[in-house]
A and B are shown apart, each in its own frame.
Chain A
Amino acid sequence: MCNSIKGLLIKDFNLLKGQKNFFLGILVLWAVVGVCNFDPVFLVAYVMMMFSFFTLSTLSYDEYENGAAYLFTLPITRKDYVIEKYLFGFLTSTVPCIVISVIFYVVLAVMGSATDPVEYFVGSAMVLPIAWLILALEIPVQLKFGREKSRIAILIPLGVVAVIVMLGVRLCDAAGIGKPEIIDQISNVNGGMILAIAAVVFVVLLWISYTISCRIVEKKQF
């Protein structure tokens, strides 16, 4: 790994370390939710989403008191900065997901209520791409609009997605294609094929997000 990205990761993990109280808060809430309704997949998803938001908070910390200007005088490129944010987001969502999934499985096994491991771990892992996609949406938005405005700005892409889905449903209705038919058609397609298409779409979306983020940071002036 290049030294600049390593240095930035160290900075962000140190920023994360400084959020001990926030961590404790999350853990308490998480424990309460867990006691009320012990659903391992939900609990893994909850922790992962919380962790992935740390990437966004490090963006805010970088901007605090115009700190980003100084950051870019250090031996890093603007591209390094963007790569590091995606990498940090990937690490802070994936590692807790794996650790907690394994812990839960061991707990379930000890309690004698362990389910099929493949089913269990696939269930947990399904949450990961969703967390990454949320990050892929939020990182460029926050880079562009900053912390305050991005709270409003994030509603725009979400709104666009909602409108597209709604229009899609209406169009299908207008074309006389019913939902069960679509589901039937999807079911007819090979499972591997669906996974492959989903993977390609996923990678393309991540790449678009990364490219947009690079462009935003390249254009920034401090």
Chain B
Amino acid sequence: MLKLNNVVKQYDKFRLECTMEVPVGQVTGLIGRNGAGKSTAFKSILGLIRTDGGTIEVFGKNVNDLTTKDKEQIGVVLADSGFSGYLTIKDLMPMLNAMYADFSKEKFVKDCERMELPLNKKIKDFSTGMKRKLQILAALSHNAKLLVLDEPTAGLDVIARDELLNLLREYVEDGERSVIISSHISSDLEGLCDDVYMIENGKIILHEETDVLLSEYGLIKATNEQFDKMDQSYILKIKKEKFGVSCLTNQKQFYQDNYPELVIERGSIDEVITMMISSAS
């Protein structure tokens, strides 16, 4: 569905080097800190910025060769952009209807009402959360095969977030649609994504299936003495702590079986991010 092959984008003080793939029917998460390169990657995928190397394929075509018909199959949420604030939702509907062959006005209106979005209010007077909801609903309104969602849950309260994540889960249920999503809220991704890519300083530093990450990754808390004695073959990262060291492993079971005295915490996306980007190998 989507392939980035050695994509390079060079700015003055930042370089993106990214290879990743989103297969059909899969939800893929892109995680990383602010400024790590998530939005740059998304903008490359959408052809909003010119890349300096590599290739991007969407639906098996080079991104620069996508027709408007192809673009109808992509639903987008951008972190820092949206519909013109001087329009109302009522103004948007005929526009979306003209642009998307599969736009469902009835469903869109129903969803907007369910999310308590006013149809006659100018979008610039919406709260951040309302703007986000509107963008997500618009992305879901035209039967897109690929959703490109940059921080879609930013600014949403817990209830709205859950509601929208449920909408997304329903949307990909048929196994024909794919999603690439970034979020700062790792629980969003844990419950939704089939796999995650972690990006730091413009580079992909980890790619793992979410199930594997949650079941096989773990955080070992060891004293210096314990650390020296243990087998370090499956340690990905270490971080010095007051009590000794914290170690990230992708073989939690191995350490649980062989070193029952060690404290081993369950891996979570948050833990893995923290360890991967804040410690030395």
Contact present for B82 and A67 (CB under 8 Å): yes
Q: Mark B9-22, 1 if CB is under 8 A from A, else 0.
A: 00000000000000
- B94 CB within 8 Å of chain A: yes
Grouping DSSP codes into helix (H, G, I), strand (E, B) and loop, the A interface class, with mixed when no group exceeds half, is helix
- Cα–Cα distance between A2 and B69 once the two chains are bound (Å): 11
- B203 CB within 8 Å of chain A: no
Tell me the residues in window 4-41 of chain B with beta carbons closer than 8 Å to chain A beta carbons. Answer: none
Residues of A within 8 A of B87 (CB): 11, 14-15, 18
Q: Mark B87-106, 1 if CB is under 8 A from A, else 0.
A: 10001101110111100000
Q: Chain A: which residue is nearest B91 at the CB level?
A: A14
Q: Mark A156-174, 1 if CB is under 8 A from B, else 0.
A: 0000000000000000000
Q: Which of B50, B78, B81, B84 contacts A15 (CB 8 A)?
A: B84
Q: Mark A1-39, 1 if CB is under 8 A from B, else 0.
A: 011101110110011011000000000000000000000
Contact present for B86 and A64 (CB under 8 Å): yes
- Cα–Cα distance between A14 and B94 once the two chains are bound (Å): 10
Q: Which of B48, B50, B84 contacts A64 (CB 8 A)?
A: B84
- A175 CB within 8 Å of chain B: no
Q: Decide: A3 near B99, CB < 8 A? Known: A14-B87, A73-B74, A75-B71.
A: yes
Nearest Cβ in chain A — how far from B50, in angstroms?
6
Nearest Cβ in chain A — how far from B206, in angstroms?
28
Q: Decide: A69 near B80, CB < 8 A? Known: A18-B86, A80-B68.
A: yes
Residues of A within 8 A of B82 (CB): 65, 67, 70
Number of interface residues of A (CB under 8 A): 31
Nearest Cβ in chain A — how far from B101, in angstroms?
8
Q: Mark A50-79, 1 if CB is under 8 A from B, else 0.
A: 000000000001101111111111111100
- B76 CB within 8 Å of chain A: yes
Contact present for B96 and A7 (CB under 8 Å): yes
Most buried by B among A7, A8, A71: A7
Q: Chain B: which residue is nearest A5 at the CB level?
A: B98
Q: Decide: A11 near B84, CB < 8 A? Known: A3-B68, A73-B46, A222-B48.
A: yes
Q: Decide: A65 near B81, CB < 8 A? Known: A11-B91, A18-B86.
A: yes
Contact present for A6 and B48 (CB under 8 Å): no
Residues of A within 8 A of B48 (CB): 69, 72-73, 221-222
Nearest Cβ in chain A — how far from B88, in angstroms?
8
Residues of B within 8 A of A80 (CB): 68
Contact present for A75 and B84 (CB under 8 Å): no
Nearest Cβ in chain B — how far from A202, in angstroms?
31
Q: Please name 15 pairs of A and B residues whose Cβ atoms are closer than 8 Å in the assembled complex, sorted by A.
A: A3-B68, A3-B98, A6-B98, A7-B95, A7-B96, A17-B91, A61-B85, A62-B84, A64-B85, A65-B81, A65-B85, A72-B46, A74-B99, A75-B100, A77-B68
Q: Which residues of B contact A (CB under 8 A)?
A: 43, 46-50, 68-69, 71-72, 74, 76, 78, 80-87, 91-92, 94-96, 98-101, 122, 124, 135, 148
Which 6 residue pairs across A and B have the least CB separation, nearest first?
A: A7-B99, A14-B91, A7-B98, A75-B71, A69-B81, A70-B81
